[in-house]
Structure 1
Amino acid sequence: MELYNKVIFLTGGSEGIGRECGRAYIKEGARLVIVANDALSLAHAKHEFGQDHLFICCDVGKAHEVEMAFEQTLSKFGRIDCIHNNAGIAHPAKTLDETTDQEWENLMNVNLKGIYHTVKYGIDALKETAGSILNTSSMVGEIGQELHAAYVATKGGINGLTKAMALDYAKYHIRVNAVSPSGVYTPMLHKWKEEQPNPQLIGEYLDAMHPLGYCPNADVVADACVFLLSDRARFITGCIMPVSGGAELGYRSVLATSLENDV
């Protein structure tokens, strides 16, 4: 029970990596506040996780909605021990010059401004508990990615922001870290793979891009998140922890490059 009785404010917690983190946090004894902007997935999460937790429909890009979410959280639980900024979007798949103003704004508002809002309205509560902040980044923030320039910019921004926040809030004994996944299977990735002309080849490519030999499920990210929010990581701050199976290491393998060219 690594997170026993900790109140965790989890954005983007109704789907994908966030939902897997929610499962892991509950297993470790936490009380959750699941914040998401999709009412249907939020209802599904509520059905799975149960009435002991709080579920709030909220757009993290809108300051007043985030402020109200923290008011509801403190009203129900009276404290906040952790903020996990997991909410994020990846679209559009475009070069920078092809990206519209609105697409750029949408990415910045969710992926970066969302963190600004949760910290702005949650930091006082974290000071009371000497809590911690966890941001979900991506390996592409370090190594780049074709046709996702704006998205990559947000993830690189999250990495720098994590380190700056770690310095700013260390005097309050608040730790700030990030997880940096590469490819992980979520329902969205499974769906995308099956929609491709050759799903088997795509699956082989996703496996081959990781030196450990397979593309994992999102529970590997959740395990790392549990550790970083637990007291076992009590002397770790400003860390961008890769959860990548070594995908960022060395040259691409001949097999992976060949598969990519075939796709």
Structure 2
Amino acid sequence: MATGTRYAGKVVVVTGGGRGIGAGIVRAFVQSGAQVVICDKDESRGRALEQELAGTVFLLCDVTREEDVRALISETIRRFGRLDCVVNNAGYHPPPQWPEETSAQGFRQLLELNLLGIYTLTKLALPHLRKTKGNVINISSLVGAIGQVQAVPYVATKGAVTAMTKALALDESQYGVRVNCISPGNIWTPLWEELAALSPDPTATVLQGTLAQPLGHMGQPADVGAAAVFLASEANFCTGIDLLVTGGAELGFGRKAIPGTPVEPPIIPS
């Protein structure tokens, strides 16, 4: 794989980097010339990507365990002597569930992964990022801004990620550390495929996801990776932004009433 120089000499940590969007981000940074630390709690897929991509190191890490995160940062500094960018990608989207089907315990666990994992890693990385005037990129979601049916806990965690990004950007500006987030829309990943398979009609679900974009197709992990490299390497006057990588899914009008909603068409005068 040919590598460029857009981020050459820099060291990047990507959480949840073993597959899907995370793997797309890892590949993009490798292509930019960076050294990439792949963080994942799935050792088999993390090791496989490490073997495939020169310029990467895999470190086993569960971002919900602070001791794992401390070890991730210390080992990264031991090996490379610096840290320039943290991409907080690790996260999970539960299967569809109505509010009454959710539990406080499940909500708490999702917060631990989708929100507090980002908080912990960022907090521990900041002393090193301040030295390099580096940056943080949080992977949020379009639904954190516009909502999603049967996904109250997930939407809440992603909305919090976007809000936390803006607060961190304000606090860290005094040190020259930029903090931004990316909100993907429908990106075709193994997780998207797994969630579609749980639906009554997977083919129809995939088609619905495809038609949600004005561009007429879903995004690929590489699209999110390209956005991450841009934010890290070239977007020097951007901090606190939420970069939508959505194919325009948030634009225009569309059918919004879910089945079972009472519908009251306007009365047309005769």
Q: What is the CA distance between 1:68 and its match in structure 2?
A: 0.9
3-state DSSP class of the match of 2:39?
strand
Contact map agreement 1:135 1:179 (CA 8 A) in 2 = yes
- C-alpha distance in structure 2 between counterparts of 1:201 and 1:90, whole Å: 20
In the alignment, residue 18 of structure 1 is paired with which amino acid?
Answer: G
- C-alpha distance in structure 2 between counterparts of 1:162 and 1:244, whole Å: 19
Task: Report the equivalent of 1:41.
Answer: 45
Q: What is the CA distance between 1:192 and its match in structure 2?
A: 4.4
Identity between Structure 1 and Structure 2 (%): 37
- 2:127 corresponds to 1:107: no
In structure 1, list runs of 5 or more residues that go unmatched: none
Task: Report the equivalent of 2:266.
Answer: none
Q: Which moved more, 1:129-138 or 1:109-118?
A: 109-118
Q: Which moved more, 1:108-117 or 1:204-213?
A: 204-213
Task: Report the equivalent of 1:119.
Answer: 122
In the alignment, residue 201 of structure 1 is paired with which amino acid?
Answer: A
Task: Report the equivalent of 1:244.
Answer: 246
3-state DSSP class of the match of 2:247?
coil
Which of the residues 167, 188, 204 maps onto 1:185?
188
Task: Report the equivalent of 1:66.
Answer: 69
CA deviations 1:104-161 (Å, max 9, x no partner) are 1211111111111112211000010000000000000001111111111000000100
Aligned length: 255
Task: Report the equivalent of 2:268.
Answer: none
More helix by share: 1
Which of the residues 84, 88, 94 maps onto 1:81?
84
Bigger Rg, which one:
2
- C-alpha distance in structure 2 between counterparts of 1:45 and 1:92, whole Å: 27
Which of the residues 25, 28, 50 maps onto 2:29?
25
In the alignment, residue 240 of structure 1 is paired with which amino acid?
Answer: D
- C-alpha distance in structure 1 between counterparts of 2:43 and 2:73, whole Å: 18
Contact map agreement 1:34 1:56 (CA 8 A) in 2 = yes
Report matched runs for 1:1-263 at 5 Å.
1-50=5-54, 52-193=55-196, 198-230=201-233, 232-252=234-254
In structure 2, list runs of 5 or more residues that go unmatched: 260-270
Q: Which moved more, 1:234-243 or 1:86-95?
A: 86-95
Cα 1:55/1:92, change in 2 over 3 Å: same
Cα 1:194/1:120, change in 2 over 3 Å: closer
User: Could you say what the CA RMSD is over the residues aligned between the two structures, in angstroms?
Assistant: 1.9
3-state DSSP class of the match of 1:178?
strand
Cα 1:122/1:47, change in 2 over 3 Å: same
Q: Structure 2-normalised TM-score? A: 0.89
Contact map agreement 2:186 2:209 (CA 8 A) in 1 = yes
Contact map agreement 1:135 1:178 (CA 8 A) in 2 = yes
Q: What is the CA distance between 1:195 and its match in structure 2?
A: 6.3
